[in-house]
Amino acid sequence: MFALVDCNNFYASCERVFNPSLEKKPIVILSNNDGCVIARSNEAKPFIPMGAPAFKFKQAFKANQIHVFSSNFVLYGDMSNRVMTILSNYTPEIEIYSIDEAFLKLDGFHLFDIERYSKEINHKVTTGTGIPISTGIAPSKVLAKVANRIAKKFPKETGHVYIIDSEEKRIKALKWINIGDVWGIGRKHEERLKKENVRKAYDFINLPDDWIKKNMAIVGLRLKQELEGKSILNIEHVRRKKTIATTRTFEKNHSDLPNIQERISTFAITCAEKLRAQKSCCSSIVVFVHTNGHRKDLTQYSKSITIRTDYPTSSSFDIVKYAVQGLKIIYKKGYQYKKAGVIVTELTPENEKQLNLFSSENPKHKILMNTIDNLNNSIGQKKIKLACQDLDRTWKMKQEKLSPRYTTRLNEIITVNS
């Protein structure tokens, strides 16, 4: 059996832990630079759509007394670590799927009362961290996702725990959940399936295997088998990102190449640091620039380019070299650029990278990168920079509604008046 543990309204719940007056109040969390809405409490959902541009919804925030916060990822990350640490005490096999979700493998737990055990986990996490969670349990990971959705949708009936442990429950769940809400069904697949009159997950499992394999490849076939209760997907003990991106909207428009080149170099170095943190290398680098689409008075330009590396690498020197090479190809004079970014793709584990007979990464780079990473981790991020970066320039996001980092900064620790 698999359990999917999901934190309820995680970002909003983190804010409520340290500010109980926000309980049952509508809350929205904004993206980097306070751009758009990336998370909403249940109370805010009727008024604010996901992804809503903050500047367009200022009146709606005020009219509906919605509490607005800048994204406090330092706080959210620390609270996530606390939740996952508690969960890891209940099973030796855990997959941290995202900042607020984890799969637990419950093999060998047949002598336990699984429902009572799950409610004990929920109680321990909620009392230990203040974060409410819901748990779905089923014979496969995809069905566990379905069970979790039921637990969150019907909290009073389920007590935030729902188990699909019989054929009757499985069929009932599949007849209830919409096909677009099934884990692994994207928008394009949803549109294609609806043309075949597939509205519910139950309709999907009744499709012929040949049709699914032809239109959705082997991934679709595995999804069907998972919904049938066959465990195909196992716990992934180490999750690596498939792409890593660093993109920023500039504080003001830039037209000169040296300024933009310095920003692209910094973004490339950040991507390289993230690659090394998850012990991966990349084989492709995407660089893009574009002007401000909201400025209709300015000439518009948008361009991206993909550069293949000569060998898989995580070296900041190499990734900067290729990123700048790409920028020089797509950059055009005379435009006011507002945003740029670097995306590294085709990632492979560091110990599985394909070697090149004619070229390879400089072995000295790895030693130097490790030294820089260790120094930055010990004395503070971004203290050691490469010469291509502006030594006096640091990227500071617009975070006008940032809550304190209660758990990681002594000078921002919560104050209790007694």
* Confidence at residue 72, expressed as pLDDT on a 0 to 100 scale: 92
Task: Report the CATH number at residue 307.
Answer: 3.30.1490.100
- The domain in which residue 114 lies consists of 98-227
What distances in angstroms separate CA 353 from CA 123, 279, 313, 347, 360, one per listed residue?
Answer: 44, 11, 9, 9, 11
DSSP E strands in 261-403: the ranges are 280-291, 302-313, 337-345, 348-349
Mark whether 273 and 352 lie in a shared domain: yes
User: 197, 227, 257 — which closes off a domain?
Assistant: 227
Q: Which of 383, 364, 366, 363 is nearest to 375 (CA)?
A: 383
Residues 137 and 165 sit within 8 Å (Cβ to Cβ): yes
Mark whether 256 and 375 lie in a shared domain: yes
Q: Are strands 244-254 and 337-345 parallel, antiparallel or unpaired?
A: antiparallel
* Confidence at residue 238, expressed as pLDDT on a 0 to 100 scale: 66
Mark whether 197 and 261 lie in a shared domain: no
Mark whether 325 and 268 lie in a shared domain: yes
Mark whether 275 and 322 lie in a shared domain: yes
* Confidence at residue 288, expressed as pLDDT on a 0 to 100 scale: 96
Residue 307 lies in a domain: yes
**Residues ≥6 apart with Cβ < 8 Å to 196:** 207, 211
**Choice among 101-115, 284-298, 356-370, 376-390 with the minimum mean pLDDT:** 376-390
Query: Dihedral of the CA atoms 6, 129, 81, 98 (nearest 10)?
Result: 10
* Residue with more model confidence, 279 or 395: 279
* Confidence at residue 365, expressed as pLDDT on a 0 to 100 scale: 87
Mark whether 254 and 307 lie in a shared domain: yes
Mark whether 207 and 251 lie in a shared domain: no
The model's pTM: 0.77
Residue 301 lies in a domain: yes
Residue 387 lies in a domain: no
Residue 16 lies in a domain: no
Residue 233 lies in a domain: no
Mark whether 114 and 214 lie in a shared domain: yes
pLDDT at 381 over 70: no
Q: Give the HSE-up count for residue 107: Cα atoms under 13 Å, Cβ half-sphere.
A: 9
Residue 172 lies in a domain: yes
Mark whether 340 and 221 lie in a shared domain: no
Residue matched to tokens 């200022």 = 58
User: What domain count does the chain have?
Assistant: 2
Residue 42 lies in a domain: no
pLDDT at 145 over 90: yes
* Confidence at residue 107, expressed as pLDDT on a 0 to 100 scale: 85
Tens of pLDDT along 158-200? 999 999 999 999 999 999 999 999 998 988 999 999 999 999 9
User: 227, 252, 286 — which closes off a domain?
Assistant: 227
Residues 41 and 165 sit within 8 Å (Cβ to Cβ): no
* Confidence at residue 412, expressed as pLDDT on a 0 to 100 scale: 86
Mark whether 179 and 281 lie in a shared domain: no
Residues 245 and 341 sit within 8 Å (Cβ to Cβ): yes
Mark whether 207 and 273 lie in a shared domain: no
Residue 341 lies in a domain: yes
Tens of pLDDT along 104-127? 999 888 778 999 999 999 999 999
Mark whether 186 and 303 lie in a shared domain: no
* Confidence at residue 388, expressed as pLDDT on a 0 to 100 scale: 80
Span 399-407, average pLDDT = 86
